[in-house]
Structure 1
Amino acid sequence: MTGTKKQQWNSNFAFMMAMIGSAVGLGNIWRFPYILYSNGGGSFMIPYIVSLFLLGISFVLVEYAVGYKFKRSLARILFSISKKLEPVAWFILLIVFLITTYYVCVVGWDLIYLILSFTKAWGTNPDLFFANNVLQATDSISGIFNIVPIVIGATFAIWFMAWFILKRDLNDGIGRVTKTLIPLLALIVVGIVLFSLTLPGASAGYSQIFTPDWSALANTDVWLAAFGQIVFSLSLGMAIAMTYASYLPEETKLVDNALIVAFSNSGIEVFNSIGIFSILGFMTVTSGIPFNELVTEGTGLAFVVFPQVFNTMGSAAYIIGPLFFLCILFAGITSIIALLEGVCYSISEKFLIERKKTATAVCLVGFLISIIFTTGIGSTILGVFDAYLNNFALLFAVLLECIIFGWIYKFDDLIETLNKNTTIKVGKLWKTVIKYILPVCIVFLWIQGVWTTVKSADSLSATIMIILTVVLIVVPIIFAKLPAINKDYYNV
């Protein structure tokens, strides 16, 4: 990463596990089941599959081709295309970094619950326990001065894990960790799903997946939800695939790898949903709570609903509970190191800072920002960050990448790169998707996201979003203007 020695994956398996690890995250475990249920159940799979091919695989192929062809960091790639585009690279990387700062905190919450799950220490009212005991949440702005010890401790632990992995050589760090955690994650998911299918009332849950509401297909919001899930789930626009592909050796089959990663990610999403729905079906039958009141997304599902389920599950909860939270932990860690790798790579390549020092600086700054989310009002601020960065900034970044690689760069060079060593070829159809269809879909998603974000904003949210907007404009310009220590950086 210093510019003197270019690192490479020591095997295609290491690359595949790293890519699957980057894609499989919290969105697969707690977001997809809710999106699936609230958008027509089984019929949602039609727009979801269309989105996977039209948006997901198409854009992943762009990132693979660009990273593999240039074998540089995102900042240097965009500088190579046009000097004026370097601020765009730092804009994208800053979005990714800011997303990571609160994502780490959420994984920290999971670490807390992993420990709690061995004794079901959340008690009989998991909702109040999460808000009052774990988050110590308050709506008052004065809560910013109240740092919650257990949350900051867990957040520091996750940042330390990320630093410990990132500071090591590519294959000793990210490669070794993902080759271990992803197979373990898959085994845990299979175990949880198989167990869940044996629970009384499981069919009341998983039947929701296989009972389609065909009228939903006429709803444009359902199609937008499918596109949004693919963007979120495959981490599109975050330069992860571009960064990891830049470490690939020659003669790699890019299209084949992209298809395997995309299908693996979606397969885990759908398969995991069978387990989630089966467990919620069990809860419905045993407690009498309507299914639609149990199905939620995000922290509500993981830290409120599932503890409620485990409370009714008996002794089996002492096994399934820890496995469930361990599953989230593994998915979270592999996603975090993927998010940070691209940031570290661009900084190291421009300023010739060795990997260990870059990882240390990035993780230290990241932890300092994360402290905001460990305060009494931290969960509220986290929600604003998440809505703004995902609904507004990230989608805008994906749109910029579509324009840059579809219209400014010589797109036919990417087709040639992808078709060089692969059994499945791409051509004019893929070019049409990237240049025309994908930007239109992203624009609709972006408008919807901006409208949703602005409509729900209060004075605190608006203030935070204004600050974030200024940061996202000023900081990328500063990084682009700073002179590169690495003189090869300017060789186009």
Structure 2
Amino acid sequence: MSTSRTESRGTAAKNTDASGREQWGSQLGFLVAAIGSAIGLGNIWRFPGVAYENGGGAFMIPYVVALLGAGIPILFLDYALGHRFRGSAPAVFRRISKKLEFLGWWQVLLCFVIMTYYAVIIAWSLRYVFYSANVAWGKGSNAANHFNNFIEAAPAPQYSLAPVWNVALPLAVVWIVVLVAIGRGVSRGIEVANKVFLPLLVVLFVALVLRALTLPGASEGLNALWTPDFSALKEPKVWLAAFTQIFYSLSVAFGIMLTYASYLRRRSNLVGTGLVASFANSSFEILAGIGVFATLGFMAAQQNTSIGNLEGVQGIKLSFITFPAVISEMPGGAIFGVLFFLSLAFAGITSLISLVQVVAAGVAEKFNLRPAASAMAVGIPAAAVSLMVFGTKSGIYSLDVVDAYINAIGVVASAVLVCLITAYGVRNLKQLQRHLNFVSETGNLVGAWWRWLVGVVVPAFLSYVLVSGIVGYIRNQYDAKSYTRGFENAFGWGSVAVVFVGALVFTLIRWRTPVDDFEPISLEASNTGGAR
């Protein structure tokens, strides 16, 4: 046996626990992966627009309240569940109660659906890196025509089976990179990938922001974003937008952070890591706001108009229509474009890896598969769905509808159920509170306030969001101006139904691993909850 092979096996052995379960190579590796998962496309193209439309600088007040009152508490809940019960989402909830395995598979199937369209957006970003090199879309309004021609958008939202080959090649690259990372395991694959892509993302994006700040009109863009409108704080929708942004941005309550935390060593600083990851994510969102609105300020100056008169200040239009239009007008636009779209791609890849790992971990444990086998078992059907549903000429329409329904209904429902079940169904919150304090050695830092937030405040708020979303979609659809009810039913309610049926089917399949033969980490703490 060669020396290198012996060393490789020795490293793999060091990164498993006594039961053979994989572990992160270090606490830093977990932290980088957690930050990489949280920092995604939404930080760049969603937060700036949401802040601008909901009070500007004043939006930071409800944003911080949402971060402290909902985001961090639910992140702690995910960490505690994953670390204490040490498994994929289905295994964790089954170990809490056999009746709860369905909830774990609900989270797994949510991630499966999300990753199939998320990969397509990353593929668009990769293709636009090359388009940026020579500003292929030309000047001004040509950016919109170029994007529609690139994705070969059908004239109306009606499902098409015709694949877009311009998208297929970069999509294949995306899936190969992600599946190689997943197949190599937690420490040698996911951790290494995040240690490469996250620093690259930060360096590229900081360079992009610095360049944006030098553009004519940048200060006007920043004034438009950060000038506070305190009267907006009287509007419930502003607070709703803040809580929703935090909730989606941190990747909580649908299996990602739960799965990542399950690979931590038995003594890990869950509380400290959660705080660092949360504030790192929010810091990047603020950085994105500065970069995006400095750029929009330049665009407004070029058009001799105000920021308020610009269209496409968030979402797909911002990234693939508005920004290309800006790039074509600015000095050194090609370099700026390459930086921007590489940043989008790297942000997307780190988040996509975390989504795929939730699914791969659940499948691996259910069917007793090695990481490489589970990566292929998950990746091949996911890549097929990406190409055949979201990589087609109708892909942009189906992507929009599925994203709206899966997030507003599927993800929010998952969060409500996790909070209510742990608080009232199995009454596990006090035990999880003790676990957070014990393994993090924080004394009583996580106190009764945490149980009150997780058991009362967050589920009450999210229940309101969930019911409002369901009623609104039933009565008025998601976007009745753009889509027929039949199209929305097929892709919107249809995607929710796929998650439900898929979760039910996987729950009924027999486990190939002894999932019930498990002892959670022993707590040597008092009933009042401190560390040693």
Q: TM-score range by the shorter chain?
A: over 0.9
In 2, Cα distance between the equivalents of 1:417 and 1:189? 37
Match of 1:436 in 2: 456
Matched to 1:134, the amino acid is I
Shift of 1:404: 1.8
Match of 1:290 in 2: 306
Residue 412 of structure 1 pairs with residue 430 of structure 2: yes
Match of 1:447 in 2: 467
- Kept in 2, the 8 Å contact 1:138–1:376? The answer is no
Match of 2:38 in 1: 23
In 2, Cα distance between the equivalents of 1:249 and 1:469? 35
Residue 139 of structure 1 pairs with residue 156 of structure 2: yes
Residue 96 of structure 1 pairs with residue 123 of structure 2: no
In 2, Cα distance between the equivalents of 1:295 and 1:386? 18
Matched to 2:266, the amino acid is E
Alignment of 1:342-491 (within 5 A): 342-371=358-387, 372-409=389-426, 410-420=428-438, 421-423=440-442, 425-454=445-474, 455=476, 456-457=479-480, 458-489=485-516, 491=518
Shift of 1:402: 0.7
Matched to 2:421, the amino acid is I
- Kept in 2, the 8 Å contact 1:54–1:433? The answer is yes
Matched to 2:143, the amino acid is P
Name which of 12, 36, 41 aligns with 2:56. Answer: 41
Match of 1:6 in 2: 21
TM-score, normalisation: structure 1: 0.96
Shift of 1:222: 0.4
Shift of 1:131: 1.0
- Kept in 2, the 8 Å contact 1:202–1:281? The answer is yes
Over residues 120-151 of structure 1, what are the superposed CA-to-partner deviations in whole Å (9 max), with x where a residue is unaligned?
Answer: 1112200011112333333163x513211111
Higher helix share: 1
Match of 2:243 in 1: 227
Task: Assess, with a 3 A threshold, how the Cα gap between structure 1 residues 384 and 3 changes in structure 2: closer, same or farther.
Answer: farther
Shift of 1:71: 1.1
RMSD in angstroms over aligned alpha carbons? 1.7
Name which of 174, 188, 191 aligns with 1:175. Answer: 191
In 2, Cα distance between the equivalents of 1:247 and 1:189? 29
Match of 1:50 in 2: 65
Shift of 1:153: 1.9
In 2, Cα distance between the equivalents of 1:467 and 1:415? 38
Structure 2, unaligned runs of 5 or more: 1-15, 520-532
In 2, Cα distance between the equivalents of 1:33 and 1:24? 14
Q: Which moved more, 1:190-199 or 1:47-56?
A: 190-199
In 2, Cα distance between the equivalents of 1:134 and 1:241? 33
In 1, Cα distance between the equivalents of 2:359 and 2:17? 13
Aligned residue for 1:250, secondary structure, equals coil
Matched to 1:329, the amino acid is A
Over residues 305-349 of structure 1, what are the superposed CA-to-partner deviations in whole Å (9 max), with x where a residue is unaligned?
Answer: 0000001102x1121110110100110000000011111111111
Compare relative contact order (CA 8 Å, sep 6+) and give the higher one, 1 or 2. Answer: 1
Residue 120 of structure 1 pairs with residue 138 of structure 2: no
- Kept in 1, the 8 Å contact 2:72–2:274? The answer is yes
Matched to 2:506, the amino acid is F
Aligned residue for 2:22, secondary structure, equals coil
In 2, Cα distance between the equivalents of 1:375 and 1:188? 31
TM-score, normalisation: structure 2: 0.89
Structure 1, unaligned runs of 5 or more: none
Over residues 190-233 of structure 1, what are the superposed CA-to-partner deviations in whole Å (9 max), with x where a residue is unaligned?
Answer: 21112211111111001123210111000000000001101111
Name which of 207, 215, 228 aligns with 2:223. Answer: 207
- Kept in 2, the 8 Å contact 1:3–1:349? The answer is no
Aligned residue for 2:46, secondary structure, equals helix
Shift of 1:490: 5.4
In 2, Cα distance between the equivalents of 1:14 and 1:100? 22
- Kept in 1, the 8 Å contact 2:406–2:496? The answer is no
Q: Number of aligned pairs?
A: 490
In 2, Cα distance between the equivalents of 1:21 and 1:133? 29
Match of 1:158 in 2: 174
Residue 299 of structure 1 pairs with residue 316 of structure 2: yes
Instruction: Calculate percent identity across the aligned residue pairs.
Output: 36
Match of 2:85 in 1: 70
- Kept in 2, the 8 Å contact 1:2–1:353? The answer is no
- Kept in 2, the 8 Å contact 1:2–1:349? The answer is no
Task: Assess, with a 3 A threshold, how the Cα gap between structure 1 residues 128 and 63 changes in structure 2: closer, same or farther.
Answer: same
Shift of 1:263: 0.2
